[in-house]
């Protein structure tokens, strides 16, 4: 069974602080995606990383895929209240389905 | 806007009943996947349809079934509802299984 563990589960920080969310597995994924989900809405795709060691930046968000394609991290610089939400990583299992295995999620609250 | 629309947004059923949830994807999205997201957890893969045929299934019993139609709409049917079926049901679509998936806002199903 493929499992993706995220840490921390909950994070409450002040506006302007930096934070890192981790996503770890013992399985190798063909790609890994990060989503943000707000209450009452579906997950919104932030980024897809495909190559081991790949780093992608999206404004204040930096995503890294581990060299072995088993883990990933999301770093947010100078967090803002608008960053509040549930952050989900999802690993794609190679094959006909390319189904997504979701992590347990990190609930981030950024206080003004 | 992801172009994925789900209906209804909320639904209340009782144990033993049957339910049909609907999803409408944007034109050209031949792949639709359904996920179950329990409160406080990441989404769990139910199954995927590609060009109107089942293309992979997660660890869900046969009372969870689906259909995909030529007009890019799809259905998730659940028979003999149980209390544990209470969750947010999400559909996600993409042009093909290898492309990133885009989610609808889900249907919140409550079983009494």
Q: Is residue B99 within 8 Å of B34, Cβ to Cβ?
A: no
Question: Which chain A residues are Cβ-neighbours of B48 within 8 angstroms?
Answer: 97, 99
Q: Is the dihedral of CA A54, A5, A96, A57 positive or negative?
A: negative
Q: Average pLDDT in the B91-111 region?
A: 92
Do the Cβ atoms of A104 and B42 come within 8 Å? yes
What confidence tens digit (pLDDT) does each residue in A22-78 have? Answer: 999 998 998 999 999 998 899 999 999 999 999 999 999 999 999 999 999 999 999
DSSP-based three-state secondary structure for B85: helix
Output the pLDDT for position A94: 76
Output the pLDDT for position A1: 55
Banded pLDDT at B97 (limits 50, 70, 90) = confident
- Chains A & B: contacts with CB separation below 8 Å: 61
Residue A15, min C-alpha distance to chain B (Å): 24
Q: Which of A33, A98, A105 sits opposite B41 (nearest CB)?
A: A105
Residue B99, min C-alpha distance to chain A (Å): 9
Q: Evaluate if residue A2 carries a pLDDT over 70.
A: no
Do the Cβ atoms of A41 and B101 come within 8 Å? no
**Alpha-carbon Rg for chain A in angstroms:** 13
- Return the exposure string of B31-48: e unless at least 16 CB atoms fall within 10 Å of the residue's CB, then b: bbbbbbbeeeebbbbbbb
């Amino acid at each position: 069974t493929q499992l993706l563990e995220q840490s921390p589960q909950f994070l409450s920080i002040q506006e302007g602080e930096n934070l890192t969310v981790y996503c770890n597995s013992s399985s190798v994924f063909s790609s890994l995606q990060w989503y943000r989900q707000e209450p009452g809405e579906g997950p919104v795709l932030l980024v897809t990383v495909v190559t081991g060691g790949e780093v992608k930046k999206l404004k204040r968000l930096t995503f890294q895929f581990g060299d072995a394609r088993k883990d990933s991290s999301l770093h947010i610089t100078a967090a803002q209240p608008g960053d509040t939400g549930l952050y989900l990583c999802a690993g794609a299992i190679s094959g006909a389905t390319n189904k997504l295995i979701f992590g347990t999620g990190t609930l981030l609250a950024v206080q003004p | 806007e992801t172009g994925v629309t789900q209906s209804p947004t909320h639904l209340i059923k009782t144990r033993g009943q049957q339910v049909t949830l609907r999803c409408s994807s944007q034109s050209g999205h031949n792949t639709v996947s359904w996920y179950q997201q329990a409160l406080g957890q990441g989404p769990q893969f139910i199954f995927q349809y590609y060009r109107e045929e089942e293309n992979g299934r997660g660890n869900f019993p046969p009372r969870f079934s689906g259909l995909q139609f030529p007009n890019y709409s799809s259905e998730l049917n659940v028979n003999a509802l149980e209390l544990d079926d209470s969750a947010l049901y999400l559909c996600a679509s993409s042009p093909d299984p290898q492309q990133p998936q885009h989610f609808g806002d889900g249907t919140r199903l409550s079983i009494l």
